[in-house]
A and B are shown apart, each in its own frame.
Chain A
Amino acid sequence: MRLALLALSCFLAFLVFPHRISGDPGSNNKWAAVKRWNLWTKVTYEHLWINKSECGGHSRDEDHEETITTGPLEFLEHISDDSIDVISWTSNLGRASGSESQHDESVDCDGRTITSTLNGSGSNPEPFFIGLHIDLKKGTYSLGAHNGANYTLHRRVVTPEGTQSSSWDSGGGYDIEIEEPLPGGSTTVLSGMRVLDKPPHAGHGQKLTVNWRLTPGDREDVELLVDPDQYDKWLPEGGKDEKQIGNQLAIFVKLRAKDGKEPQQKAKRIVFELTDTSQIPGVCDNYPRDAKSDHDFQFGEETNPELKVTGKGQQAETKPGEYTEAYAILDSYDFGGYSTLKVTAYLTDGQEVTGHLKSDKSQTEIRIPKRTPDSKIGEAWKKRENVESLSDGDDGEETPKLDGHNGDGLTLYEEYRGFMEDGEHFRAKPKRKELFIVDKVGGRSKDGIALLRTATDLLIYDKLLQTEADENGVVNANHGGKIPRRGSNWAVRLENNPDPKIRYAEGVGKTGGPKKVLMGSGFDPGPGGWNTAWGKRIITDDYAATVAHEILHCLRVSHHGNTDPGRKWWIKDMGDRGQLVVREYDMLGDNQDEVAKAGHVIRVLTENGRELRPDSPELSLPTYHYVGAANGQHSGHEDCLMRYKCADVYVSPSDGDMRYLAGDEMTGIGLCKDAHGTGVNDPGRKPRSRYGDASAGNCFEQPCVNDSAH
Chain B
Amino acid sequence: MKKSCLIVAGLVVVVVFACILGVGAWWVWSRYLKPAITPVAERTGSTMRETGTRPELPSVEMQVHSAGEGQAFTGWPLLVRVSVRCPLSSDSQKPKPVLIAGPGGSWQESLRLAVQDTSGAKVDWPWRQPKADGGTVTLDGRMGIEWVWWLTGDETQAIRAGKYRLTAVLDTAKVTAPGAWKGTVSSRSADLDLKAPGQLSAEQEALKEIQTAQAEALGGNSAAAVARLQTMLGRSPKDIEALSFCGGLLADSGRLEEALGMYNRAIDAWYESNPDAEIEPVLLLTERRRLRTRMLEQEQPSS
Contact = CB atoms under 8 A, between A and B. Distances in A.
A446 B142 contact: no
A346 interface: no
A501 to B, nearest CB: 6
Contact of A618 (B270, B279, B292): B292
Nearest to A421: B54
B224 interface: no
A646 B285 contact: yes
B46 A15 contact: no
Interface stretch (A148-156, A242-250, A351-359, A687-695): A242-250
A683 B210 CA distance: 45
A673 interface: no
Interface string B279-299: 111110110111011011001
A539 B40 contact: no
B83 A15 contact: no
A294 to B, nearest CB: 20
B281 A446 contact: no
Interface in B267-282: 267-268, 270-271, 273-277, 279-282
A49 interface: no
Given A503-B241, A540-B142, A646 B282 contact: yes
Contacts of B277: 504, 506
A460 B282 CA distance: 25
B6 interface: yes
Interface string A599-630: 00000001000100000011010011010000
B40 A529 contact: no
Contact of B59 (A321, A446, A590): A446
Interface stretch (B155-163, B175-183, B191-199, B256-264): B256-264
A618 B133 contact: no
Nearest to A621: B264
A115 to B, nearest CB: 59
Interface residues of B, number: 97
A2 interface: yes
Nearest to A646: B285
A543 B63 CA distance: 16
B303 interface: yes
Interface string A220-240: 000000001110011101000
A542 B282 contact: yes
Interface stretch (A81-89, A388-396, A519-527): A519-527
A447 B83 contact: yes
B145 A537 contact: yes
A284 to B, nearest CB: 12
A624 B271 contact: yes
Contacts of A590: 275
B143 A537 contact: yes
B145 A16 contact: no
A529 B144 contact: no
B210 to A, nearest CB: 8
A503 B285 contact: no
Which residue, of A422, A521, A590, A623, has the highest number of chain B Cβ atoms within 10 A? Answer: A623
B54 A503 contact: no
Contacts of B38: 306, 327
A157 interface: no
A424 B49 CA distance: 11
Nearest to A458: B93
Nearest to B272: A624
Nearest to B262: A620
Interface string A529-542: 11111111111101
Contact of A327 (B37, B245, B260, B264): B37
Given A234-B46, A610-B303, A664-B289, A444 B37 contact: no
Contacts of A460: 93
A76 interface: no
Nearest to A523: B283
Nearest to A440: B69
B260 A503 contact: no
A504 B274 contact: yes
A589 B274 CA distance: 9
Contacts of A646: 280-282, 285-286, 289
A566 interface: yes
Contact of A623 (B48, B240, B267, B303): B267
Given A450-B85, A531-B248, A542-B282, A326 B37 contact: yes
Interface residues of A, number: 100
B204 to A, nearest CB: 11
Interface in A175-231: 228-230
Interface string B61-89: 11100000000000000000101010010
B63 A17 contact: no
A587 B277 CA distance: 12
A492 interface: no
B301 interface: no
Given A646-B280, A648-B285, A5 B13 contact: yes
A267 B277 CA distance: 78
A664 B290 contact: yes
Given A531-B217, A537-B144, A543 B296 contact: no
A531 B252 contact: yes
Contact of B130 (A234, A424, A503, A534): A534
Contacts of A446: 59, 61, 83, 85
A384 interface: yes
Nearest to A531: B217
A463 B282 CA distance: 27
Which residue, of B217, B225, B283, has the highest number of chain A Cβ atoms within 10 A? Answer: B283
Contacts of B132: 535
A18 B44 CA distance: 32
A8 B289 CA distance: 107
A397 to B, nearest CB: 14
Given A249-B46, A443-B61, A536 B295 contact: no
A626 B280 contact: yes
B48 A529 contact: no
B152 interface: no
B85 to A, nearest CB: 6
A383 to B, nearest CB: 11
B14 interface: yes
Contact of B276 (A229, A589, A644): A589
Contacts of A341: none
Contacts of A459: 92-93
Contact of B271 (A1, A533, A567): A567
Given A381-B52, A531-B225, 13 more contacts: A1-B10, A17-B24, A230-B45, A237-B50, A424-B54, A443-B61, A443-B81, A521-B241, A522-B241, A529-B245, A589-B275, A618-B296, A644-B282
Interface of B: 6, 10, 13-14, 17, 20-21, 23-25, 27-28, 32, 36-38, 40, 43-50, 52, 54, 59, 61-63, 81, 83, 85, 88, 91-93, 95, 107, 130, 132-133, 137, 141-148, 188, 203, 210, 214, 217-218, 222, 225, 240-241, 244-245, 248-249, 252, 257, 260-261, 264-265, 267-268, 270-271, 273-277, 279-283, 285-286, 288-290, 292-293, 295-296, 299, 303
10 contacts: A12-B20, A15-B28, A327-B38, A447-B83, A504-B280, A522-B241, A526-B81, A529-B252, A535-B146, A542-B282
Interface of A: 1-2, 5, 8-9, 12, 15-19, 228-230, 233-235, 237, 247-250, 252, 306, 318, 321-323, 325-327, 329, 381, 384, 422, 424-427, 429, 442-444, 446-447, 450, 453-454, 459-460, 500-506, 521-523, 525-527, 529-540, 542-543, 546, 566-567, 587, 589-590, 606, 610, 617-618, 620, 623-624, 626, 644-648, 661-664
Rank and list the top 10 A-B pairs by shortest CB-CB distance, nearest first: A16-B24, A646-B285, A623-B264, A229-B46, A535-B133, A443-B63, A531-B217, A539-B144, A529-B248, A522-B241
